[in-house]
Amino acid sequence: MHDDRKLVEARLERVLRERIRPAVHPVTTPLAVEIWSTAGEPVPVAEGLAAPTVPIAPGTPWGLPWGTSWFKVTGSVPAEWSGRTVEAVLDLGFTPRTPGFQCEGLVYRPDGTPVKGLHPRNAYVRVGSPVTGGEQVHWHIEAASNPDLDGSGVPFQPTPMGDKATAGEAPQYVLGEMRLVVFDETVWNLVMDLEVLGELMVELPLDGARRWEILRAVGRALDAVDLQDVNGTAQAARDELAGVLAAPATPAAHRISAVGHAHIDSAWLWPLRETVRKVARTASNMTALLDEEPDFVFAMSQAQQFAWIKEHRPEVYARVTKAVAEGRFVPTGGMWVESDTNMPGSEAMARQFVHGKRFFLEEFGIESDEAWLPDTFGFAAGLPQIIRAAGATRLLTQKISWSRTNSFPHHTFSWEGIDGSRVFTHFPPVDSYNCEMAGRQIAHAARNFKEKGVATRSLAPTGYGDGGGGTTREMVAKAARMRSLEGAATVEWEAPADFFAKAEAEYPDPPVWVGELYLELHRATLTSQAGTKRGNRRSESLLTEAELWAATAAARADMPYPYEELDRIWKTVLLHQFHDILPGSSIAWVHREARETYARLAAELEGIIAGAQRALAGDAPGGAELVFNSAPHARGSVPAGGASVLTAQGDAVSPVPREGGGYVLANGLLRVEIDGRGLVVSAYDRVTDREAIAPGQAANLLQLHPDFPNQWDAWDVDAFYRNVGSDLTEVARLDVEGTSVRVERVFGASRVTQLLSVPADAKRLDIDTEVDWHETERFLKLAFPLDVKADRYASETQFGHVYRPTHQNTSWEWAKFEACNHRFVHIDEPGWGVAVVNDATYGHDVTRTVRTGPDAGTTTTVRASLLRAPRYPDPETDQGVHRFRHALVPGATIGDAVREGHRANLPERRVTGSAAAAVAPLVTTDNDAVVVSAVKLADDRSGDLVVRLYEAHGGRARATVRIDAFATDRAVTTDLLERPLADAEPPTAADGGVVLALHPFQMVTLRLPRA
């Protein structure tokens, strides 16, 4: 038989486009449209409904950037349409772009009842099926004219549209047609039949009979369509396709659990306030679709987004809660937002689950067993323990499929964290969290699935996301046709929990992946928007202090505990850890507001801390000065979590001139030489007679690289950035300021000022760096070349640290050329190491070189990433003044690194109080390896004390934890939600404390009532 395959395929494409799809709406009539616009922020629904409107015609420009317009749409159904299905098609001026990245609308009835959302792939509203004729149509549309930041068609171009202050006043859209239409369901079903079969057909093997069977059936169907009377012949065409659509899938077919989904970024190319409306629009759409499609199931994560609907759109929330109660609108994930997981600190990552799960429990009585993070940029190795401690056992993500160098070897596996905790993990092989049920996607999922032969199931999050929109009726229709269709994977709508239960049952012993799930992409998110990152770190530290001192003041001074304030602040901080805010990949508006929010929260937390410490110190004008220590380790005579009267001590040694230029900072433990360039050429450990700086090298070296990635400007730094760079060695000023050496440098349009000092009683060089940054597409690093031979190094992560290689033996190791740390990086040889600690940076790289000649040895260089200057999506990223604190700690053990990291982030506070005052800690441990990460009162307001601790050195540790004023004999071990663990052995009470025996990196939460 002649091969006419391409002829039939081309025919199908044109006939669908030009004849069959237009025939879905064979008869139309225009609607009357009026408009009212506000240039300010969105107004309440009642105000928008009552606003005075003026007529507007199709083709009229409308919509200021980030503005809101209210359209009033009216009309009546023609009498001759009686007995037919009628819809309205409401085109706000949509472009072919994906939903969520342009104008959007939410339709209301005159009484304010929401109907559904509008976007370019879902612009209809059902009037009646059937109608009687004469029905009156009266709707209002709240329309957002959000700019399309990639509307030029050229991605990643700098644009002023990312902030209302710079976006101008040019109308963004041109109104399309708004009309009533007859909806021909037979023709629409023919479109679905042909799309499913056409998409499936081209994915099947050319040498297989099934492809040709479909091709011939499609040819017959097209023959049956009278192109001059599509509506009259559509059923005949459908009849020609019935046989191939009825052929069932084979028993070996891959099984796909479709989950209705709309991954909505809590902020990204739109501000937080617009996300509130995006969520309401999508939730309205999905509850409407649930009413129409009995098999459909929709899942939504991010408790914050549910809370927004509850607060701002209670009428939408009522529909959501009804659908949740029916089991069809499924809260999933159990986190406050889909956060970044690399940069949030230990407590913040824990509180994501605490606040997320508690919201779902209190609102719906539902507790999700899954962490749901489809779009997060890699996963820290401490996360499995946190997931388990929150009472969950499963994880879903898709983003690792974006890795550019190595293909991850599994789609379903067990992920093991640093403490040995494991979670059952799934990566959907459809490779999208915005699946559209397209044949190519379903075929790709089946081919791509790496567990063939041992497992058969995968999950497909189905619906438009990022900017929202959700699942469409077309996606549901396609899924129905693929429920059992020969040549395709089988598709069934299921809740995430149902998928995971079946996947675990068929694959009880999956392969194990140990350590972080590193995304080989988007590495620059560890550095972009330094102001946002500093705000996050500072907020985390201030919350640690506020909870500690508020709990101590409640126990010691009967001061009321600020439950409401801390709950609200935690939720705000958690919101800003969303995976496009904290990573620095949102528009200028988002980061401007984030900086303002962090400043406001800092002031509020400082007030809580000051009030609690004042209550503890007592009033004593002219009294002694108390030192409050929030860190989990003692500071000299000041205990961890307590306060003592300040005794005389030297803050730092004084610089002395260095022969040949520069200065020397020295105490009995450390001698630091700073040369005439302001660079550290020696950091000599006097205790072990060991030099930290590599021979002929200099530390505290600022290095500048060009930074123009191939795409994703704010997200990516590509490996080739290292090919070109310059050392900033020219010094504009070098002198002494107090007990510090002051170094100033000027480069490009920027200026750096550094203060270097050595404490009188510590083996540590403190480096305080201020950068007035005005570069573009540059990457600034701070380098420490160290005379240490290390094949691996440690980076702090949640509740411990993770080891990474310093070499590049394999492509997996090479790909980790930029990585994340929290408060420290530590490298060592047996018996001696060096720590580099920080108070606000996350990105870093570690490399090694082998020296030749008389100074043969290995140099391991640690570089902290300070600043970038990408131009998309924020063209002014990081312009302005930034401050960083780092410390170099020669001779440091891993325990020293832990201690110094906390010291840098939790500085001491001094308060004048009663002359003999001292504040005893509520909690102490007798083993520095057991670190207290939280001291707080229980969230249920019972007055119980909650203490969280973890083993921080990576080994086994036994410790007695003494807790004053609370009943240690009634201590219980709890999960993160402060609920007793049913299968946990009661803690052993002994010697006025609780005895713990912890395995490496184990985290434990204790709850104790008042004594």
Give pLDDT tens digits for 106-164: 999 999 999 999 999 999 999 999 999 999 999 999 999 999 998 777 889 999 999 99
> What is the layout of strands, in order, in the sheet containing 625-628?
643-645, 625-628, 909-912
Task: Provide the sign of the torsion angle of the four alpha carbons 194, 200, 202, 205, taken in this order.
Answer: negative
Model confidence band, residue 96 (pLDDT cutoffs 50, 70, 90): confident
Number of C-alpha atoms within 13 angstroms, CB side, residue 214? 26
Contact 872, 156 (CB under 8 A): yes
Measured CA to CA, the distance from residue 183 to residue 202 in angstroms comes to: 29
78 CB contacts (<8 Å, ≥6 apart)? 29, 133, 180
Q: Are 374 and 264 in contact (CB under 8 A)?
A: no
Mean pLDDT, range 645-668, rounded to an integer:
89
Is the predicted pLDDT of residue 412 greater than 60, yes or no? yes
Q: Which helix (H) or strand (E) holds 29?
A: strand 28-30
Find the helix or strand (DSSP H, E) in which 292 lies.
helix 272-292
Give the whole-angstrom CA distance, residue 1007 versus residue 1005.
7
What interhelical angle do 473-481 and 272-292 show, nearest 10?
50
CA angle 568, 340, 103 (to 5 degrees): 80
The catalytic residue among 150, 193, 265, 375 is 375
- Residue found by looking up tokens 């559509």 in the block: 234
Asked if pLDDT for residue 40 goes beyond 90, the answer is no
Task: Identify the sign of the CA torsion 266, 267, 270, 271.
Answer: positive
pLDDT class of 984 with cuts at 50, 70, 90:
confident
Please answer whether residues 400 and 370 qualify as being in contact, where contact means their C-beta atoms are separated by less than 8 angstroms: no
Report pLDDT for 648. 57
**Which pLDDT value is given to residue 650?**
64
Burial class (CB within 10 angstroms; exposed 0-12, middle 13-18, buried 19+) of 361:
middle
**Per-residue pLDDT, 39:** 77
Distance CA 542, CA 548 (A): 10
Give the pLDDT score at 177. 97
**How many angstroms separate the CA atoms of 762 and 610, rounded?**
28
Quote the CA–CA distance of 325 and 333 in Å, as a whole number.
17
The percentage of residues in the chain with a pLDDT greater than 90, rounded to a whole number, is 95
Q: Mind listing the pLDDT tens digit for each residue in 901-917?
A: 999 999 999 998 875 67
Mean pLDDT, rounded, for 972-978: 98
Query: d(Cα 195, Cα 175) in Å, to the nearest integer?
Result: 29
* Alpha carbons 488 and 200: distance in angstroms, whole number: 7
Q: Supply the pTM of this predicted model.
A: 0.97
Q: Strands of 680-685's sheet, edge to edge?
A: 656-657, 663-666, 670-674, 680-685, 690-691
Proportion of the chain above pLDDT 70, given as a percent: 99
What is residue 265's predicted lDDT score, i.e. its pLDDT?
98
Angle in degrees, 0-180, between the axes of helices 185-201 and 5-15, rounded to the nearest 10: 150
CA 441 from chain centre, in angstroms, equals 25
The whole-angstrom separation of Cα 531 and Cα 538 is 10
Helix (H) / strand (E) element for 824: namely strand 824-829
Residue 880 CA to residue 588 CA, distance in Å, equals: 14
| Amino acid 699: pLDDT | 98
Pairing of strands 329-331, 370-372: unpaired
Helix ranges (H only) for 576-666 are: 588-617
Closest CA to 193 of 226, 258, 139, 237: 237
- Average pLDDT of 543-554? 98
Q: Is 375 a catalytic residue?
A: yes
CA distances from 27 to 58, 80, 182, 234, 663 (A): 18, 11, 5, 16, 87
| Contact residues for 118 (Cβ-Cβ < 8 A; gap 6+) | 90, 92, 104, 105, 106, 107, 125, 141, 143, 281
Phi, psi of 469 (to 5 degrees): 130, -50
Please write the tens of the pLDDT for every residue from 768-777: 999 999 999 9
Which tens digit of pLDDT belongs to each residue from 471-519? Answer: 999 999 999 999 999 999 999 999 999 999 999 999 999 999 999 999 9
706 preceded by a cis bond (ω within 30 of 0)? no
The two structure tokens encoding residue 769: 């760096």
Confidence of residue 713 (pLDDT cuts 50, 70, 90): very high
| Tokens coding 728 | 């900033």
The SS3 of residue 492 is: strand
Q: How far apart are CA 240 and CA 264, in angstroms?
A: 41
pLDDT at residue 669 tops 60 = yes
Q: Residue 36: beta bridge partners?
A: 70
* pLDDT (tens digit per residue) in 201-232: 999 999 999 999 999 999 999 999 999 999 99
* 718-732: burial string, b at 16+ Cβ within 10 Å, e else: beebbeeeeebeebe
User: Rounded CA gap, 596 and 681, in Å?
Assistant: 40
End-to-end CA distance of the chain: 90
Residues 6+ apart with CB under 8 A from 644: 626, 627, 637, 638, 918, 919
Averaged pLDDT for residues 593-613:
98
Question: For the chain, what is the mean pLDDT?
Answer: 96
pLDDT band at residue 620 under the 50/70/90 scheme: low
For the stretch 272-298, pLDDT in tens is: 999 999 999 999 999 999 999 999 999
For 868-895, what is each residue's pLDDT tens digit? 999 999 999 999 999 999 999 999 999 9
Please write the tens of the pLDDT for every residue from 625-639. 899 999 999 999 999
- What's the mean pLDDT in 250-263? 97
Ramachandran quadrant class, 394 (left: phi over 0; alpha: psi -120 to 50; beta: rest):
beta
Give the model's pLDDT for residue 499: 98
At residue 915, the pLDDT reads 58
The CA-atom distances, in angstroms, between 18 and each of 15, 187, 191, 476, 599 are 5, 13, 12, 24, 57
Q: Side-chain half-sphere of 563: how many Cα atoms within 13 Å?
A: 9
The per-residue pLDDT for 916 is 66
- The full length of the chain comes to 1011
